[in-house]
Amino acid sequence: MTWNDKLNGTRDQLRTLNKTIPDTTRAFGALGKTVKEGGTLDFKTKEYVALGIAIATKCEACIVLHVEALIKAGATRDEVADVLGMSIQMGGGPSMMYAAKALECYDALSAA
């Protein structure tokens, strides 16, 4: 499965979930909007944090969504790689495996 397939599949799964429990998913969406728009950190920095957490928790669906958001926010490969290094330092070997997946995802989605 390609990263574009993973992205599309994740979106399909979320659409189904949104239809099934719309109040819950709307509330979660509102939380996300509030967190991303408020505070002192900019959107891109918050997405870097989210990517690090996605790697640490081994969530491929989260990785693909946050990598896509970072590409749209203008993140460079070197910036993403710096975040991956920090994620590896904090999470050890398992994070290294998911950091490799995140870099592969960045390369695939940024080439599209």
The pLDDT assigned to 85 comes to: 96
Give the pLDDT of residue 38: 86
What count of Cα atoms within 13 Å lies in the side-chain half-sphere of residue 112?
14
Q: How far apart are CA 17 and CA 10, in angstroms?
A: 11
Counting the structural domains of the chain, the total is 1
Q: What is the pTM of this model?
A: 0.91
Residue 19: pLDDT over 90: yes
Domain, as residue range, for 7: 3-110
* Mean pLDDT, the chain, integer: 96
pLDDT tens by residue, 52-88? 999 999 999 999 999 999 999 999 999 999 999 999 9
**Do residues 109 and 7 make contact, with C-beta atoms less than 8 angstroms apart?**
yes
84: domain CATH number? 1.20.1290.10
